[in-house]
Every structure is written in structure tokens, then in C-alpha cells.
């Protein structure tokens, strides 16, 4: 009897030791350090339609993951496969497999900021958005060229740039191209309040026409306090006989020629741009669409343009960025001559 007890004891001890070893190993792979990030923290994106294998492979390839086995075990126990939420997550140095899986399973995703400024072309917005979101540039670009889609939003190819109001927008990283565009449409409609729509109607322009004129005003001056005055000049040209309904806006010539380094718009430039629908020296009225993303200040300057009798303006002969205004072409020529002399003196 004593011999039997003595033979069982080592077996039990062995089992206990084995359990302890396995338990210790599991504790190590589950609760031990899994992620090493020298910078301290890092963003990690889970793409749409990813599975556990995709996630663990990406972690292994792109980060210094200490044990994939631990991730796989915890993912199985916590049923991560059925609780994957695409998006951007922040991983920190020293996280365990349990920490990582629990974070992914929680769906506590980070948001990203997309900052839209006064870009010259909507393509710049799409390029920027594609670096911030899961949506690719190709997907975004295809939507902007989809006539049925942009028509459903109330735009055409030449005016789709109006959709992108300058501001900072918060998105989840896994935003799709369509979701991005629909969000922009929502922000556009939010900006165009009943009050702004009423003002646009009062001055005889549609919201997109207001934005087209605002884009020109923005290119004429960086000073918000001068924009209503310049907007007034262009409204006078649109509605008066002094320039036969032609805006004669130099920024449209630069846009037509796709040459934004032009310092002085000369007759040769105007001649070369004649065939472009954006040449406001050649064609009456507004160009087909904005020549850049207009600022909100520019839009409001057009809606609240200054009423005066000026038809012309020319940059002052200094670095102030302000203009001299005149009611007659003769007076305008005097200001223009002063400005040309100053440019020559400055070496332009």
C-alpha cells in the first residue's frame, strides 16, 4: 500500500508541475508584453472586411509583436472574429495580447482630422483625404467623375469643387469614398442656411454662382476686410455696361492657362486663354465654376458685397496687398501705371 502511494505522488507532482508550467506560459503569452513600439505609441488601422488572421499577420509584419500565439489564443477566447470593428486604433508600448484584443473588440477607434483649405482644384482635397482615410484616391476620384452621383448631389463636373467647404472635419479612418462625399454634401447644406440662400436669391445668384465669384475675389486679395469691396466691383461689372458684362478678372486667366506663377497678366496671356470658357476677358458673365475652393469669408463677402460705383481696381504700389479703386477707366490707367512702375522698380 505504501509503495502505491509513493508511486502516485511523483505523478501528481508532475501533473501539478505541468499545469503550473502551462499556466505560466499562458499567463506569459496572454498577459506579458506583446507590443514593442520605440516611439511609445502608434496608430494601427484595421481595414474593412479584415479577419483575425489579417489582423495578426499585419501586427506581425508592421510592428514588433512579441507573440502572435498569445494574440490568437485571446482572440479565440474573446471571440474577436465576430467583433471586429474596422478603423484606426492607438497601440502603446508594452501592451499585452489581452490588452490588444480587448481594445480591438471594444471598437474604441480614433478619429482623424481632414483639413480642407482653399485648394485650386478638388483633386488636391481627394489626394489629402486618401492619405487620412481608408477610401482610396481612385475611389474618391471615380465618384467625382460619376455624373449620376454628382448630379444626385446637385452639382456638375465644373462645380463639384463647391462641395468641399474649407474647415477641419473629424472622420473615422474607415470612412468610405461615398460616405466622405455624403458628409461633404451635408456640411455644404449646413453652411447654406436659409439666410444665406435668401441673400443669394436677392443678388440674383445661385449658391454655386456665389461660390464661383467668391473664388475670384479670394484670389484678388488676402484681406477679408477688402473682399466685400472687390465683390462689389465684380457685381457692378456683371450688371452694368462699363465692361459689357465681362468680369475681366486676371485670376481666371491664370487658371485658364494653369500658370499660377504669372505676376502680370499681359495681352499675350489673355490672347492665349481666349478659347478657355474660364477666360472672363473673352466671355460675359461668370466662368463655369470656381477657380479654387472659396473661403467662407469670400462667400459672405459676395453675399454682402459693398454697393458703390467702382468698376476697376488695381494693386497699390507697395507690399500692403490692398488696392486702389476707380469708377472710370482713365483713372484706373493712372493707378495701373503707378503699379507697373513700382513692379519694374522692384524687379518683377
Q: Is residue 344 part of a domain?
A: no
Lowest average pLDDT, out of 20-24, 85-89, 311-315, 323-327, goes to 20-24
Within 8 A by CB and 6+ apart from 345, the residues are none
Same domain, 290 and 208: yes
The domain of 204 spans 194-308
Both 126 and 96 in a single domain?
no
Identify the bridge partners of residue 171 per DSSP, sorted by sequence position: 112
Contact 153, 185 (CB under 8 A): yes
Residues 23-56 pLDDT 10s: 444 445 554 566 777 778 889 899 999 998 898 8
156 and 236 housed in the same domain: no
Question: Considering the domain boundaries, does residue 156 fall inside one?
Answer: yes
pLDDT of residue 184 exceeding 90, the answer is yes
CA distances to 275, 280, 281 from 238, rounded to whole Å, are 20, 11, 12
pLDDT (tens digit per residue) in 216-253: 999 999 999 999 999 999 999 999 888 889 999 999 99
Q: Which three cell numbers stand for residue 107?
A: 471598437
Q: Is the CB of residue 90 less than 8 Å from the CB of residue 41?
A: yes
Classify residue 266: in a domain, yes or no. Answer: yes
How is residue 201 written as a grid cell? 436669391
pTM: 0.84
Amino acid at each position: 500500500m505504501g509503495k502505491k502511494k509513493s508511486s502516485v505522488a511523483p505523478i501528481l507532482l508532475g501533473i501539478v508541475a505541468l499545469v503550473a508550467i502551462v499556466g505560466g506560459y499562458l499567463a506569459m503569452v496572454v498577459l506579458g508584453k506583446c507590443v514593442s513600439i520605440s516611439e511609445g505609441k502608434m496608430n494601427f488601422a484595421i481595414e474593412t472586411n479584415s479577419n483575425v488572421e489579417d489582423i495578426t499577420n499585419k501586427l506581425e509584419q508592421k510592428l514588433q509583436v512579441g507573440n502572435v500565439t498569445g494574440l490568437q489564443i485571446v482572440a479565440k477566447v474573446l471571440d474577436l472574429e465576430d467583433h471586429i470593428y474596422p478603423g484606426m486604433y492607438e497601440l502603446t508600448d508594452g501592451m499585452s495580447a489581452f490588452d490588444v484584443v480587448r481594445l480591438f473588440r471594444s471598437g474604441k477607434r480614433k478619429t482623424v482630422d481632414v483639413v480642407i483649405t482653399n485648394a485650386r482644384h478638388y483633386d488636391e482635397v481627394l489626394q489629402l483625404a486618401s492619405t487620412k482615410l481608408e477610401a482610396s484616391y481612385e475611389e474618391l476620384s471615380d465618384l467625382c467623375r460619376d455624373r449620376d452621383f454628382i448630379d444626385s448631389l446637385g452639382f456638375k463636373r465644373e462645380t463639384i469643387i463647391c462641395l468641399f467647404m474649407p474647415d477641419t472635419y473629424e472622420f473615422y479612418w474607415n470612412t468610405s469614398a461615398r460616405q466622405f462625399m455624403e458628409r461633404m454634401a451635408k456640411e455644404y447644406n449646413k453652411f447654406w442656411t436659409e439666410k444665406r440662400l435668401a441673400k443669394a436669391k436677392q443678388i440674383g445668384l445661385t449658391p454655386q454662382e456665389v461660390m464661383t465669384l467668391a473664388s475670384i475675389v479670394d484670389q484678388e486679395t488676402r484681406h477679408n476686410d477688402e473682399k466685400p469691396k472687390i465683390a462689389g466691383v465684380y457685381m457692378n461689372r456683371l450688371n452694368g455696361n462699363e465692361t459689357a458684362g465681362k468680369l475681366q478678372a486676371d485670376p481666371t486667366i491664370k487658371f485658364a492657362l494653369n500658370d499660377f506663377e504669372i505676376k502680370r497678366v499681359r495681352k499675350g496671356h489673355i490672347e492665349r486663354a481666349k478659347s478657355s470658357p474660364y477666360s472672363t476677358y473673352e466671355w460675359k458673365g461668370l466662368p463655369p465654376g470656381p477657380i479654387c475652393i472659396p473661403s467662407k469669408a469670400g462667400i459672405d463677402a459676395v453675399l454682402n458685397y459693398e454697393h458703390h460705383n467702382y468698376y476697376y481696381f488695381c494693386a497699390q504700389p507697395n507690399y500692403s496687398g490692398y488696392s486702389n479703386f476707380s469708377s472710370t477707366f482713365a483713372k484706373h490707367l493712372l493707378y495701373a501705371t503707378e503699379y507697373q512702375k513700382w513692379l519694374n522698380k522692384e524687379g518683377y
